[in-house]
Homo-oligomer: A and B are copies of this chain.
Amino acid sequence: MLRGKNQKNNGKLANRFKDLLTVKWENNQVIMIDQTKLPGKLVYVRYKKYEDVARAIERLVVRGAPAIGVAAAFGMSLAAISSKAKTKKALLKDLKIAYNRLRSTRPTAVNLVWALDRIMNEASSKNELEDMKESIVHSSLNMATDDITTNKQLGKNGAEMIHNDDVILTHCNAGSLATVTYGTALGVLRAASDMGKNIQVIATETRPVMQGSRLTAFELDHYGIDFSLIPDTAVGHLMSSGLINKVIVGADRILKTGHVYNKIGTYQVAALAKRHNIPFYVAAPSSTFDLTSKVNEVVIEERNKNELMKMGNKLLAPKGIKVLNPAFDVTPPELITGIITEIGIINPPYEKTIAKIVRHG
């Protein structure tokens, strides 16, 4: 179905409109695109154990807040199926172990906890062992399907903000590869493009993990949307040169005050957009909202220094030096023009509008 390495010669056009399916459930296994291998190879990996799914989330085989949520839910399905528990209590104990392991993988994206909590609630609400297992698998499959519906609606809502001849900057990857498929920020751009709007995209490399070069560029190329790749250092220069007139990014967690946690670098893109009066939009499903935490309570993941020190086996900096590698930052509400969700577009003042529109949490 997807463009694999053996299908290269089929040409791009035939595949251009085929969806990349980032994570799926098949024959009681979780199948994912191994995103660490992109853009060089489009490789699928299969997991039968939740521990391997947890490790895959940590290693960024799968990343992107919505995709992580669904992957974790499938991880719970694996845990349920493989459990040898004979009682509800014993199964819940096994599930809680898997829950804790999966939850510990990454601290910042809230969709992970949201999905895991939903699965645990689902399991707890049943009485029979087989019902419990079945409902977990059923619930995780629903989550995957809902993710697609949600993103398509979100894309449609957001596409109204995109005008003919817009040049839109995006940071990191909030595309098919960050979701089950279709994407959030890139979903908006796909929807606009599908509506026949003539757009150009500017994609930042997004150091250190280069989700822009490796994933967003791969997707935009795959879907045939006109784009240019830039280094993260060129954002300000291109904005001051008047070459960008809109920004759209995804989110890993949005607080009810409108503070947006997203890939490191998002805050400075937003601050630069503000300086140049360029509208800055966030696109995220309602599962990204965390209506209870406060700004100083959210943990910003600090990742391994090797992400900066190495590229494959090549050493990029002298051995043994100190590195700061925060994976996320927080963009304050005053820099955000609007938050695009599947429910609709949320406008400031966020401390009032978010709580009205988003009901969970």
Chain A residues engaging chain B, CB cutoff 8 angstroms: 39-40, 202, 205-208, 210, 213-214, 217-218, 221, 227-238, 240, 263-265, 267-268, 271-272, 275, 308, 311-312, 314-318, 320-326, 329-330
Count this chain's copies in the assembly: 2
The CA of A311 and the CA of B309, in the complex, are separated in Å by 13
Given contacts A231-B208, A308-B205, contact A236 B323 (CB under 8 A): no
User: Chain A at the B interface: mostly helix, strand, loop or mixed?
Assistant: mixed
Which residues of chain B are near A40, meaning CB under 8 Å? 315
When the two chains form their complex, are residues A324 and B218 in contact, meaning their CB atoms are under 8 A apart?
A: no
Which residues of chain B are near A268, meaning CB under 8 Å? 233, 235-237, 268, 272
Given contacts A271-B275, A317-B39, contact A207 B233 (CB under 8 A): yes
Residue of B nearest to A328 (CB): B237
Which residues of chain B are near A320, meaning CB under 8 Å? 221
Neighbour of A322 across the interface among B228, B231, B238, CB < 8 A: B228
When the two chains form their complex, are residues B233 and A324 in contact, meaning their CB atoms are under 8 A apart?
A: no
When the two chains form their complex, are residues B237 and A267 in contact, meaning their CB atoms are under 8 A apart?
A: yes
When the two chains form their complex, are residues B237 and A317 in contact, meaning their CB atoms are under 8 A apart?
A: no
Other contacts beyond A39-B316, A227-B321: 4, CB < 8 A: A233-B263, A236-B271, A237-B267, A272-B272
Least Cβ–Cβ distance between A304 and chain B, in angstroms: 13
The CA of A264 and the CA of B39, in the complex, are separated in Å by 26
The CA of A263 and the CA of B234, in the complex, are separated in Å by 10
The CA of A76 and the CA of B324, in the complex, are separated in Å by 43
The CA of A334 and the CA of B78, in the complex, are separated in Å by 59
The CA of A329 and the CA of B239, in the complex, are separated in Å by 11
Which residues of chain B are near A324, meaning CB under 8 Å? 202, 228-230, 234, 238
Which residues of chain B are near A317, meaning CB under 8 Å? 39, 205, 210, 213-214, 217-218, 229
Least Cβ–Cβ distance between A308 and chain B, in angstroms: 6
Which residues of chain B are near A236, meaning CB under 8 Å? 265, 267-268, 271, 329
Neighbour of A265 across the interface among B221, B233, B321, CB < 8 A: B233
